[in-house]
C-alpha cells in the first residue's frame, strides 16, 4: 500500500486534508439552495464511503509495504473494527450538528467555532494518547487558534438575526458539534497499527480504518439524520419520500462529491499520522477552519454589510495562520 516516509510529505497530505475539510461544505451551500440539508447529507455520507473504497482498492492495495486492503480487513480483530465504527458514529453526529450550524450561521462561523474547538480538543486527546512533538509549540499553536475562535464568535454577534436563525443558536450548535468532533479521531487512531509498513496483527492500516469508519458513518445516518429530518432544529420537516421525489441527478452528484472531498482528506490525514503523529496530523487537518472561513468571508460574503467586523476577522486569520505554523513546527523542533 502507499504510505509516506517523511514528515515533509506528511505535511503535504495534511495540507490537502485542510483544503478538503475546509471546502466540502461548499457543496452543501450549493445544494441546499434547492433542497434541505438533511437530504443533501444522505448523498454526502454515500460519497464518503465510495471514495474510501476507491482509495482502499487502489492506493491501499498496491506497493510493497504494509498489508493490502482485503488481507488487512480479513485479519482485523473485533476491537479495532469496533473502534473505527465508533469513530464514524461519533463523527456523524458531530458533523450533522455542524451541517445544521452551517445552515443557520454560515461557513465563516460554524467552521471556526465548531471545527476550531474540535481542533483544540482533538489535539489534546490525541497528544495524551500518543505524545509526539514539542508540547510547548503544539499547545501554543492550539492556544492561538482558540483565541481566533473567540474573535470569530465576537464578529458573528454583530450579524443581524434572520428567520429564527439567531447568532446564539448558530454559535451554540457549533460548540456542541466541536465538542463531539474533538473525540472521534482518537477512536479511529486507536484502531490503527503504530507502524504502517509493518502493521501488527489485529490492527488496521489507514485505508481499512477509513472504510470501516465510513461504514459506521453511513449506518448511523439512519439514526442521526432521520432524527434531523423529522425533528429539525430549524426549517421544515422532510421525509424519505422527499429524497426520491425532490432530488435530481445534479443534486445527488453534488452531495456525493461533497462526501468524496471530505473522505479524501480523512484518508490522507490518517496516512500522514504515521510520520506526523496523530495530534499534529489532526491539528493540521483541522486548519480547515481557516479555509472554510476564507470561503465564507470572500466567496459567500457572509459578513457583507456588517459594520465593525473587519478588524476581528483580520486578527482571526492572522492568529489561525500563526497557530497552524506552530503546530507544524512542533514536530521539527
pLDDT at 129: 93
pLDDT at 208: 98
Do 206 and 264 meet the contact criterion of CB atoms below 8 Å apart?
A: no
Query: What 8-state DSSP symbol labels residue 304?
Result: T
Q: Alpha carbon of 291 to those of 26, 133, 207, 298, 305: distances in Å?
A: 11, 24, 25, 11, 21
The rounded distance, in Å, linking the Cα atoms of 105 and 265 is 24
Do 235 and 36 meet the contact criterion of CB atoms below 8 Å apart?
A: yes
Residue 81: what are its φ and ψ, rounded to 5°?
-65, -45
The rounded distance, in Å, linking the Cα atoms of 319 and 333 is 20
The rounded distance, in Å, linking the Cα atoms of 278 and 273 is 5
Query: What 8-state DSSP symbol labels residue 194?
Result: S
The rounded distance, in Å, linking the Cα atoms of 151 and 75 is 48
pLDDT at 265: 98
pLDDT at 25: 87
The rounded distance, in Å, linking the Cα atoms of 211 and 197 is 19
Do 51 and 255 meet the contact criterion of CB atoms below 8 Å apart?
A: no
Do 271 and 3 meet the contact criterion of CB atoms below 8 Å apart?
A: yes
| Domain extent listing, the chain | 7-332
The rounded distance, in Å, linking the Cα atoms of 206 and 270 is 6
pLDDT at 151: 87
| pLDDT tens, N- to C-terminus, the chain (333 residues) | 999 999 999 999 999 999 999 899 899 888 877 889 999 999 999 999 999 999 999 999 998 899 999 999 999 999 999 999 999 999 999 999 988 887 787 766 777 788 888 988 999 999 999 999 999 999 999 999 889 888 887 887 787 765 555 667 888 898 999 999 999 999 999 999 999 999 999 999 999 999 999 999 999 999 999 999 999 987 889 999 999 999 999 999 999 999 999 999 999 999 999 999 999 999 999 888 888 888 888 888 878 888 889 999 999 999 989 999 999 999 988
Q: Is 303 helix (H, G, I), strand (E, B) or coil?
A: coil
DSSP string for 76-112: --HHHHHHHHHHHHHHHHHHHHHHHHHHHH-HHHHII
228 sits in which H/E element:
helix 206-230
| Cell numbers at 149, concatenated | 475562535
The rounded distance, in Å, linking the Cα atoms of 245 and 242 is 5
pLDDT at 305: 85
Q: Among 29, 41, 32, which residue's Cα sits nearest to residue 228?
A: 41
| Alpha-carbon dihedral sign for residues 216, 217, 223, 224 | positive
Q: Return all residues near 74 (Cβ < 8 A) that are at least 6 apart.
A: none
Q: Which residues pair with 162 in a beta bridge?
A: 165
Q: Alpha carbon of 222 to those of 40, 45, 88, 89, 237: distances in Å?
A: 14, 11, 13, 11, 16
Q: Among 189, 216, 219, which residue's Cα sits nearest to residue 283?
A: 189
pLDDT at 280: 95
Residue 65: what are its φ and ψ, rounded to 5°?
-105, 150
Distance from the first to the final alpha carbon of the chain:
30
Amino acid at each position: 500500500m502507499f504510505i509516506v516516509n517523511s514528515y515533509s510529505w506528511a505535511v503535504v497530505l495534511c495540507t490537502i486534508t485542510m483544503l478538503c475539510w475546509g471546502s466540502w461544505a461548499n457543496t452543501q451551500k450549493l445544494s441546499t439552495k434547492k433542497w434541505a440539508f438533511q437530504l443533501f447529507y444522505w448523498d454526502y455520507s454515500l460519497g464518503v464511503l465510495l471514495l474510501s473504497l476507491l482509495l482502499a482498492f487502489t492506493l491501499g492495495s498496491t506497493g510493497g509495504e504494509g498489508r493490502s486492503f482485503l488481507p488487512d480487513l480479513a485479519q482485523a480483530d473485533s476491537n479495532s473494527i469496533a473502534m473505527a465504527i465508533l469513530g464514524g458514529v461519533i463523527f456523524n453526529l458531530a458533523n450533522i450538528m455542524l451541517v445544521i450550524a452551517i445552515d443557520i450561521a454560515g461557513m465563516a462561523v460554524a467552521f471556526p467555532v465548531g471545527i476550531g474547538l474540535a481542533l483544540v480538543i482533538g489535539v489534546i486527546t490525541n497528544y495524551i494518547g500518543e505524545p509526539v512533538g514539542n508540547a510547548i509549540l503544539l499547545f501554543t499553536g492550539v492556544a492561538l487558534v482558540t483565541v481566533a475562535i473567540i474573535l470569530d464568535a465576537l464578529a458573528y454577534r454583530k450579524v443581524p438575526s434572520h428567520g429564527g436563525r439567531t447568532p446564539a443558536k448558530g454559535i451554540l450548535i457549533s460548540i456542541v458539534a466541536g465538542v463531539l468532533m474533538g473525540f472521534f479521531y482518537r477512536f479511529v487512531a486507536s484502531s490503527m497499527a503504530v507502524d504502517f509498513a509493518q502493521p501488527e496483527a489485529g490492527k488496521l492500516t489507514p485505508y481499512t480504518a477509513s472504510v470501516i469508519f465510513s461504514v459506521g458513518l453511513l449506518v448511523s445516518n439512519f439514526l442521526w439524520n432521520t432524527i434531523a429530518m423529522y425533528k429539525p432544529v430549524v426549517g421544515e420537516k422532510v421525509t424519505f419520500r422527499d429524497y426520491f421525489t425532490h432530488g435530481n441527478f445534479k443534486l445527488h452528484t453534488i452531495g456525493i462529491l461533497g462526501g468524496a472531498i471530505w473522505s479524501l482528506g480523512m484518508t490522507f490525514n490518517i496516512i500522514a499520522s504515521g510520520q506526523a503523529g496523530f495530534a499534529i496530523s489532526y491539528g493540521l487537518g483541522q486548519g480547515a477552519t481557516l479555509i472554510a472561513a476564507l470561503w465564507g468571508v470572500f466567496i459567500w460574503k457572509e459578513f457583507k454589510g456588517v459594520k465593525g467586523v473587519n478588524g476581528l476577522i483580520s486578527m482571526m486569520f492572522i492568529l489561525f495562520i500563526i497557530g497552524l505554523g506552530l503546530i507544524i513546527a512542533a514536530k521539527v523542533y
